Amino acid sequence: MAENTLVIKVTVGQESAERCSQGFTVAATALASGVKVILWLTGDATWFAVPGKAEEFTLEHAAALSDLRDQILESGTIKVCTQCAKRRGITQELLLPGVEISGASSFVADILGQDVKALVY
């Protein structure tokens, strides 16, 4: 049986806290359910791959974004959009260990795989 994969793209940061938190929560929940997860961080969400930034995120009645991020890093994959990172001055050296900067061609390859579902938040 083929492995199910869920690709989740989070495009927002604190300015749209509920949508951002939902993306991270769904990713962590899917991993806990045994689904392979690739989390893409684009736009202002790219900041959450930098140490200390997810720790600054606040949303009442939601799991800590840094805890969700760490759960995803432990068992899944986190990728940061190349152009989004460049626009914010984020380099690979600034990212948490295990996070990679990848371009649009990598995103397309991720979402076109067999048994892949993609969500955008």
The pLDDT, as a whole number, for residue 3 is: 80
Question: Does pLDDT of 112 surpass 90?
Answer: yes
Q: pLDDT digits over 32-62, tens only?
A: 999 999 999 999 999 999 999 999 999 999 9
Q: What angle do CA 86, 43, 21 make, to 5 degrees?
A: 135
Altogether, the residues listed in the chain come to a count of: 121
- Please give the backbone phi and psi of residue 24, each rounded to the nearest 5 degrees, phi first: -65, -40
The pLDDT, as a whole number, for residue 31 is: 97
CATH number of residue 67's parent domain? 3.40.1260.10
pTM score of the predicted model = 0.95
Largest CA-CA distance found in the chain, in angstroms, rounded: 42
Q: Which two tokens stand for residue 11?
A: 């495009």
Q: For residue 17, what are the domain limits?
A: 5-120
Q: Which two tokens stand for residue 78?
A: 């986190």
Give dist(CA 37, CA 7) in Å, integer. 6
Q: Which two tokens stand for residue 49?
A: 């791959």
By CB atoms closer than 10 A (0-12, 13-18, 19+), residue 119 is middle
> How many domains does one find in the chain?
1
